[in-house]
C-alpha cells in the first residue's frame, strides 16, 4: 500500500475492511433493532448514509474554523440538523417507513458511526475524501443491514422484501424477528467475518514468509553445487 | 479571551445556520405531515364503517370519536379511536359502532407492539372478524379454549390470551365512555 492512499481506497475500505457494523462495531443498536425486515434495514441505512455524507462534508469544510475545545458540540449540532431534515422528509414523504423505524431515525444523532467518522476522518481530511469515506461507510452499513435483514426476514417471516421465498410448509422461526434472533444473527455474522479475515491474513503471512525463504534456499543449493 | 470569543462565535454561527435551514425544511414538511395524519385517520374511520361517506368529529369528548354518515347524510354509526395497555405496550384501536351503540360494526388495530407471531395474532382476520356484529351490552366478554355461546362473547387466541383480553378491555373502556357521552346527549 502506497503512502498516498488512493481515493478509491477511502471508499472501499468502509465496505469490508473497516465495516462499521462488523469491524468497528458501531451503530449496533439500530442494527439489532430495525433489521426485522429487509425494507426497514434499507431505509435505516439510507437515512444514516444521507446524514453521514452531509455531516462529513460540512464538518470537513468547517474543520479549520472550529476551535478544538468545542469541536464535538459543533459536530453534534451539524449532525442533529441533518438528522432532523431526514426525519421530517421521511415523515412527510414516506410515513409508513417512518412509522416502522419509530424512534430510530431521530436516534441517528447519537449513532456512533457518524460521530466516529466525523472525529476520526472528516475532521482531518479534505471534503472530497470525507464524502468518499462517508459513502463507503454508508455502503458498509447498508451491506450489514441487508445481510442481517435478509436472514432474519427469511427465517422469521419466510419472505424477502415482502415476497414469499420459503414454502408454507416451513414453520417461521419467530425467535428470528425477536431481539434474541438479532443477537444470534449478529454474533454469527461477526464470527464468520472475523474468521474469513483471520484466514486471509494468515494466508498472506505465509505467502510473505515463503517469498523471503526462496532466495535463501537457492543460495544454499548453489553453494552445495560449488 | 480570544479563544472564548472564537468558541462562542463558531457555535453561534453554526447554530444560526442550522436553525435557519431547519425552519425552511419544516415549513415545507409540516403541512405534508399533517395531511398524512389526516388521511390516515380518515382511512381508519371508513375502514370500520364501510357504508360511511362523510364524517364529523364529536367535540368535547376527551378522546377521538367521529359520527359517520352515509351518502344521504343519515347517521350510520360511530368510529371511535381508543387506546389502552396491551401485553408489552399501548394498543390503539379503531372501533366501529352502530348508531345505537348496541353492536360493533368492525374493528381495526391501528398501533400495537405485541410479541411478533404470538400477540400480533390479534391483528389477523380470524380474531378481528369475531367482533363484526358483536353485541355490546352489558359488556363484551371473552372465553378461552371453547367456542363463544352468547352474542356478546369472543374467543381469545391461543398464545395471545393477554393481548386478546387487552383488546376486549380497551373496547369495554371505550364503550363506557361512549355511553356516558350518549347519556349527556352529546352523540
Structural domain includes residue A121: yes
A166: domain range?
Answer: 8-196
Average pLDDT, chain B: 88
What is the C-alpha to C-alpha distance for residues A104 and A92, in angstroms, rounded to an integer?
Answer: 16
pLDDT attached to residue A166 = 87
User: Buried (b) or exposed (e) across A119-130, using 16+ Cβ within 10 A?
Assistant: eebbbebebebb
What is the C-alpha to C-alpha distance for residues B157 and B154, in angstroms, rounded to an integer?
Answer: 10
Q: Which of B11, B21, B40 sits opposite A81 (nearest CB)?
A: B21
Interface membership of B29 toward A (CB under 8 Å): yes
Whether residue A144 contacts residue A87, with contact meaning beta carbons closer than 8 Å, is answered with no
What is the C-alpha to C-alpha distance for residues A10 and A125, in angstroms, rounded to an integer?
Answer: 11
Quickly list H helices, chain A: 7-12, 28-34, 38-61, 71-93, 95-101, 112-117, 127-157, 179-225
What is the C-alpha to C-alpha distance for residues A74 and A79, in angstroms, rounded to an integer?
Answer: 9
Grouping H, G, I as helix, E, B as strand and the rest as coil, residue A130 is: helix
Structural domain includes residue A80: yes
pLDDT digits (tens, 9 = 90+) for B44-91: 888 888 888 888 888 777 888 888 888 888 888 889 889 999 888 899
Structural domain includes residue B85: yes
- Interface test mutation site (partner B, options A34, A85, A93, A175, max chain B beta carbons within 10 A): A85
> What percentage of residues in chain B have a pLDDT greater than 70?
100
Structural domain includes residue B47: no
Whether residue A149 contacts residue A137, with contact meaning beta carbons closer than 8 Å, is answered with no
Q: Which of B18, B30, B117 sits opposite A77 (nearest CB)?
A: B18
Measured in angstroms, the CA of B94 and the nearest CA of chain A are apart by 18
Dihedral sign computed on CA atoms, order A141, A144, A145, A146: positive
What is the C-alpha to C-alpha distance for residues A63 and A32, in angstroms, rounded to an integer?
Answer: 33
What is the C-alpha to C-alpha distance for residues B22 and A175, in angstroms, rounded to an integer?
Answer: 40
Structural domain includes residue B1: no
Contact A89 B29 (CB under 8 A): yes
Structural domain includes residue A203: no
Structural domain includes residue B121: yes
pLDDT attached to residue A80 = 94
Strands B75-85 and B64-69 turn out to be antiparallel
pLDDT higher at B115 or A128: A128
Measured in angstroms, the CA of B107 and the nearest CA of chain A are apart by 21
How would you write the pLDDT of chain A (226 residues) with one tens digit per residue? 444 678 888 888 888 888 888 888 898 888 998 898 898 899 999 999 999 999 999 999 999 888 888 999 999 999 999 999 999 999 999 988 888 888 888 889 888 899 999 999 999 999 999 999 999 999 999 999 999 999 999 998 888 888 888 888 888 888 888 889 999 999 999 999 889 888 988 999 999 988 887 665 555 555 555 4
Domain total of chain B: 1
Structural domain includes residue B163: yes
Which residue(s) pair with B66 in the sheet?
A: B57, B79
Task: Calculate helix-pair angle for A71-93, B2-47, nearest 10 degrees.
Answer: 20
Structural domain includes residue A211: no
Structural domain includes residue A202: no
Measured in angstroms, the CA of A81 and the nearest CA of chain B are apart by 6
From chain A, the residues in CB contact with B29 under 8 A are: 88-89, 91-92
A73, three cell numbers: 458540540
B96: domain range?
Answer: 54-183
Interface membership of B5 toward A (CB under 8 Å): no
Strands B90-98 and A159-160 turn out to be unpaired
What is the C-alpha to C-alpha distance for residues B49 and B17, in angstroms, rounded to an integer?
Answer: 48
From chain B, the residues in CB contact with A104 under 8 A are: none
Residues of A with CB under 8 A from a CB of B: 36, 62, 65-67, 69-70, 73-74, 77-78, 80-81, 84-85, 88-89, 91-93, 95, 156, 172, 174, 177-178
Domain total of chain A: 1
Phi/psi at B105 (5° precision): -85, -40
Amino acid at each position: 500500500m502506497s503512502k498516498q492512499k488512493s481515493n478509491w481506497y477511502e471508499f472501499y475500505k468502509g465496505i469490508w475492511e473497516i465495516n462499521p457494523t462488523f469491524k468497528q462495531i458501531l451503530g449496533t443498536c439500530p442494527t439489532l433493532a430495525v433489521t426485522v425486515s429487509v425494507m426497514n434495514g434499507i431505509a435505516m441505512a439510507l437515512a444514516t448514509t444521507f446524514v453521514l455524507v452531509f455531516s462529513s462534508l460540512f464538518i470537513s469544510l468547517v474543520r479549520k474554523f472550529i476551535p478544538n475545545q468545542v469541536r464535538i458540540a459543533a459536530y453534534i449540532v451539524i449532525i442533529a440538523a441533518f438528522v432532523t431534515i431526514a426525519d421530517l422528509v421521511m415523515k412527510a414523504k414516506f410515513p409508513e417507513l417512518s412509522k416502522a423505524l419509530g424512534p430510530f431515525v431521530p436516534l441517528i444523532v447519537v449513532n456512533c458511526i457518524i460521530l466516529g467518522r466525523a472525529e476520526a476522518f472528516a475532521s482531518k481530511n479534505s471534503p472530497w475524501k470525507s464524502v468518499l469515506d462517508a459513502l463507503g461507510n454508508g455502503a458498509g452499513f447498508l451491506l450489514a443491514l441487508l445481510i442481517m435483514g435478509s436472514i432474519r426476514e427469511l427465517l422469521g417471516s419466510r419472505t424477502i422484501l415482502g415476497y414469499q421465498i420459503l414454502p408454507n410448509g416451513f414453520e417461521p422461526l419467530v425467535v428470528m424477528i425477536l431481539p434474541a434472533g438479532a443477537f444470534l444473527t449478529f454474533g454469527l455474522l461477526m464470527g464468520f467475518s472475523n474468521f474469513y479475515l483471520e484466514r486471509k491474513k494468515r494466508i498472506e503471512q505465509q505467502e510473505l514468509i515463503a517469498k523471503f525463504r526462496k532466495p535463501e534456499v537457492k543460495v544454499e543449493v548453489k553453494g552445495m553445487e560449488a | 479571551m480570544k479563544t472564548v470569543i472564537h468558541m462562542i462565535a463558531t457555535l453561534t454561527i453554526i447554530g444560526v445556520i442550522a436553525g435557519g435551514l431547519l425552519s425552511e425544511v419544516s415549513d415545507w414538511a409540516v403541512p405534508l405531515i399533517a395531511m398524512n395524519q389526516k388521511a390516515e385517520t380518515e382511512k381508519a374511520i371508513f375502514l370500520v364503517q364501510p357504508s360511511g361517506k362523510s364524517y364529523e368529529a364529536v367535540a368535547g369528548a376527551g378522546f377521538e370519536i367521529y359520527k359517520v354518515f352515509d351518502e344521504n347524510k343519515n347517521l350510520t354509526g360511530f368510529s371511535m379511536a381508543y387506546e389502552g395497555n396491551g401485553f408489552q405496550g399501548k394498543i390503539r384501536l379503531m372501533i366501529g359502532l352502530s348508531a345505537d351503540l348496541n353492536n360493533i360494526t368492525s374493528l381495526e388495530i391501528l398501533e400495537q407492539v405485541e410479541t411478533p407471531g404470538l400477540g400480533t395474532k390479534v391483528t389477523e382476520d380470524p380474531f378481528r372478524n369475531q367482533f363484526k356484529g358483536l353485541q355490546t351490552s352489558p359488556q363484551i366478554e371473552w372465553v378461552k379454549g371453547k367456542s363463544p355461546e352468547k352474542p356478546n362473547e369472543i374467543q381469545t387466541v391461543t398464545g395471545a390470551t393477554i393481548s386478546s383480553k387487552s383488546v376486549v378491555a380497551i373496547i369495554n373502556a371505550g364503550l363506557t365512555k361512549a355511553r356516558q357521552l350518549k347519556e349527556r346527549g352529546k352523540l
